[in-house]
Amino acid sequence: MGYVDYEVDGHVAVMTINRPKALNALNEEVLKDIEAAFDAVDLSEIRAVIVTGAGEKSFVAGADIAAMSTMTKEEGERFGKFGNDIFRKIETFPVPVIAAVNGFALGGGNELAMSCDIRICSENALFGQPEVGLGITPGFGGTQRLARLIGPGKAKEMVYAARNIKADEAYRVGLVNAVYSQEELMPAAKKLAKAIAANAPIAVRNCKKAVNEGLQVDMDQAVVIEEKLFADCFETEDQREGMRAFLEKRKIEKFNNR
Ligand code: CAA
């Protein structure tokens, strides 16, 4: 995976998009490498994933403008589908994915961050969908996920006016959960990932499914989704051990993902 560095720290995988000369912009190869990195995750071991960008300046500065500049309508459609399919795979990836946004998250960069479960960022982060200034719409989910995350009014302002927002505003509108100094960002991402990884993995996965799938349907159907995923946990060793430890007033040693 030439454009994505992959490291494992205990039960946490860290993926670093590494094309700093182009501020980690997403061309087809980078997208393929991101997909390959997710395909390579050993789900028997990994319980949370962190996605970040190489360098101090940029998470991802968008889809590759040079590569898009000569695309035909058909090529544009294919490129949009290619990115959308990968970002949907991240959104529905079985374990939680944290975006550690360490700088520019523009266009496809903001869209990548939004396909993750949780976003935290550094003080120098900048978020936006500048596509209309390039004569296109956001193409990797920006017209859909931004409105769902921060509401249609604010999303439309950002998208129509191509208005970028800094870290403090991103925090205020709920696009990110927290803002850290550049040095503190990765330690904070790892601390959060490790806190997730310490919990019963099947229960965490079921929570992700319940939230994501429940948001797509009405509340009557949503609670049925929850009931099923809640019930499934009672077939796991981790549920038995988790509750036994509580009743025996002892600390859980570790969850075994069974
Ligand atoms: N695509 C291709 N190359 C990019 C890029 C992108 N999205 N963003 C930056 N680069 C390249 C620059 O061309 C430059 O390359 P050279 O050194 O070879 O000239 C290099 O990265 C460094 O960039 P700058 O010199 O521009 O750096 P800067 O600090 O002056 O500015 C920036 C940084 C504000 C992020 C600026 O680079 C910029 O505006 N980039 C484009 C952001 C953008 O519009 N993103 C949306 C793309 S469209 C999209 O994403 C569609 C979609 O939804 C699928």
Fold annotation for 201-247: Lyase 2-enoyl-coa Hydratase; Chain  A, domain 2 (1.10.12)
Give residue 175's pLDDT: 98
Of 36, 31, 104, residue with least CA distance to 67 = 31
157 counts as catalytic: no
| CA-closest residue to ligand 1 atom 35 | 61
75 counts as catalytic: no
Give residue 252's pLDDT: 92
Which tens digit of pLDDT belongs to each residue from 95-126? 999 999 999 999 999 999 999 999 999 999 99
Which tens digit of pLDDT belongs to each residue from 142-187? 999 999 999 999 999 999 999 999 999 999 999 999 999 999 999 9
Domain ranges of the chain: 4-197, 201-247
Of 86, 70, 76, 81, residue with least CA distance to 32 = 86
**How large a percentage of the chain has pLDDT more than 90?**
99
Mean of all residue pLDDT scores within the chain: 97
Give residue 253's pLDDT: 85
pTM of the model: 0.97
The CATH H-level superfamily of 4-197 is 2-enoyl-CoA Hydratase; Chain A, domain 1 (3.90.226.10)
| Cα 127 to ligand 1 centre (Å) | 13
The average pLDDT across 240-255 equals 94
Phi, psi (rounded to 5 degrees) for 179: -120, 135
Residue 10 burial class via C-beta count within 10 angstroms: exposed 0-12, middle 13-18, buried 19 and up: middle
| Cα 104 to ligand 1 centre (Å) | 9
Give yes or no on whether 4-197 and 201-247 have one common fold: no
Is residue 102 within 8 A of residue 59, CB to CB? The reply is yes
Task: Categorize the per-residue pLDDT at 39 as very low, low, confident or very high, splitting at 50, 70 and 90.
Answer: very high
Instruction: Please say if the pLDDT value at position 1 is more than 80.
Output: no
Walk across the sheet containing 178-180 and list its strands. 4-9, 12-17, 48-53, 97-101, 118-122, 178-180
d(CA 116, CA 104): 16
Protein residues with CB under 6 Å of any ligand 1 atom = 22-23, 25, 61-66, 83, 104, 106-108, 111, 130-131, 134, 138-140, 142
